Amino acid sequence: MRSNGLQTEHPRRREPSGHVGRLVLFLALLLGLSTSAAADWREDFAAGVKARDQGDWGETVTLMRRAVQQKPRATGEKVRIYGMKYERYIPYYYLSVALYNVGDCRGALEAIESSRSYGHAGPPARAKMKGLERECRSKVTTTTTSVRRSTTTVPRPTTTVPRSTTTVPRSTTTVPRSTTTVPRSTTTMDPYRVRSVVVREKAEEVRRVLRSADEVANAIHRHLEDTREAAFRRKPSLRQRYEEGYRELNRTRSLLRAAESEGDVAALDTALTRSEKALGELREVAQEIGVK
């Protein structure tokens, strides 16, 4: 514009500084990293729970340790494992049980101590850890006592016993050889070892059925997500049967863990029956809603 014959120029607008753009990019990168880290501990914890359910104690130890490295505080928040299965975030409980089952009682005691510093589990898990702590402390004490060697030196006797000079005449009586055949000793297995083998085999049989049932439950869950639960809306009774079968699986897992730790063969038979019943129910639901 002109004023009194003079041309007035408007001040030029400044372009945004490149520093602002770089700052925005840096903050977005930090947000992405934090979101990725949050997903990582959840994934490790969920995978650890699955490994526990399958009896893979070594993998459970690895995954739970990885989870607590990323999120040490046991918040107790619910984490989705798969399908409709959720577990509270109490990694030190799972870690202590897994370490106990791989024979590392010292590691289990350390995990239990960490749970006191980084947040306790709920009453059932806390009671289980107390039992593990008592048993592990007893084992560690027994091992330490047996390994410790005595440092007391027993002096050898210095008294010399004179040799006898009396000649004992040889007997001339011939002793007849025995004609009785002594039967060979038949080795029998330790009954405790036999029971341990039976418990291990039955527990593995229950786990096989549970794994098959989990596969069917996951297939149903994926089908429902794809169809937006159309089958359940058409027939609500199917939802009830599906949820009851899923709850029965979780109850069977709890029964399996208790029976295996106590060596209860009868309870393992019950767990097998219940798992097979839940598997059959889930298969029927899958067939009715069209899961292939």
Asked if residue 214 is part of any domain, the answer here is yes
Residue 216 lies in a domain: yes
Element (H, E) at 88: strand 85-88
Q: How many domains does the chain have?
A: 2
Tell me, what's the pLDDT at 121? 72
- Is residue 278 included in any domain, yes or no? yes
Strand-pair category, 78-82 with 6-7: unpaired
The pTM of this model reads 0.45
Q: Are residues 139 and 199 in the same domain?
A: no
List of residues 6+ apart from 52 with CB closer than 8 A:
60, 94, 97, 98
pLDDT range class, residue 239, cuts 50, 70, 90:
confident
Same domain, yes or no, for 60 and 138? yes
Shared domain check, 128 and 207: no
Q: What is the pLDDT of residue 94?
A: 92
217 vs 16, higher pLDDT: 217
Q: Please list the alpha-helical segments (H only) found in the chain.
A: 18-53, 57-70, 91-101, 105-117, 123-147, 191-227, 230-234, 236-262, 265-289
Contact (Cβ atoms closer than 8 angstroms) between residue 235 and residue 216? no
Query: Do 40 and 133 belong to one domain?
Result: yes
Which pLDDT belongs to residue 47?
A: 94
Is the pLDDT at 247 greater than 50, yes or no? Answer: yes
Residues 233, 135, single domain; the answer is no
Q: What integer is the mean pLDDT of 103-118?
A: 88
Q: Is 85 within the bounds of a domain?
A: yes
Q: Domain for residue 101, yes or no?
A: yes
In the numeric block, which tokens belong to residue 180? Answer: 């009785």
Q: How far apart are CA 113 and CA 72, in angstroms?
A: 13
51, 60 Cβ separation under 8 angstroms: yes
CA–CA distances in Å: residue 37 to residues 19, 33, 40, 63, 120? 27, 6, 5, 14, 23
208 with 140, same domain: the answer is no
Q: Please check whether residues 121 and 212 belong to one and the same domain.
A: no
Note whether 41 and 135 are same-domain residues.
Answer: yes
In this structure, is residue 140 part of a structural domain? yes
Give me 252's structure tokens: 């069977």
- Residue 28 domain-assigned (yes or no): no
SS3 at position 134: helix
Residue 157 placed within a domain: no
Same domain, 136 and 204: no
Do the beta carbons of residue 52 and residue 67 sit within 8 Å?
no
Burial class (CB in 10 A: 0-12, 13-18, 19+), 22: exposed
With a cut of 80, say whether residue 15 has pLDDT above it.
no
CATH number of the domain encompassing residue 116? 1.25.40.10
Return the pLDDT at 45.
Answer: 94
Choose between 185 and 80: higher pLDDT.
80
**What pLDDT does residue 114 have?**
86
Domain range enclosing 232: 195-289
At residue 33, the pLDDT reads: 46
Give the pLDDT score at 1: 47
pLDDT at 154: 45
Alpha carbons 208 and 97: distance in angstroms, whole number:
21
Averaged pLDDT for residues 9-23:
53
pLDDT tens digit sequence for 18-62: 555 565 555 555 554 444 445 689 999 999 999 999 889 999 999
Residue 127 has pLDDT above 50, yes or no: yes
Identify the band that residue 200 occupies on the pLDDT scale cut at 50, 70 and 90.
confident
pLDDT single digits (tens) 52-103:
998 899 999 999 999 999 998 988 899 999 988 999 999 999 999 999 998 8
Q: How confident is the model at residue 161 (pLDDT cuts 50, 70, 90)?
A: very low
pLDDT at res. 46:
95
Q: What is the pLDDT of residue 124?
A: 81
Residues 136 and 212 in one domain: no
Looking at 124, 144, 164, the residue that finishes a domain is: 144
How far is residue 190 from each of residues 193, 246, 277, measured CA to CA in Å? 5, 39, 34
Average pLDDT of the chain is: 77
pLDDT of residue 25: 53
Of 103, 127, 144, the residue at which a domain comes to its end is 144
Select from 186, 185, 173, 285 the least CA-distant residue to 238: 285
Q: Are residues 122 and 214 in the same domain?
A: no
Angle at 29 between CA 23 and CA 32, to 5 degrees: 145
The domain boundary, picked from 108, 126, 144, lies at: 144
**pLDDT tens digit sequence for 135-152:** 888 887 776 555 455 444
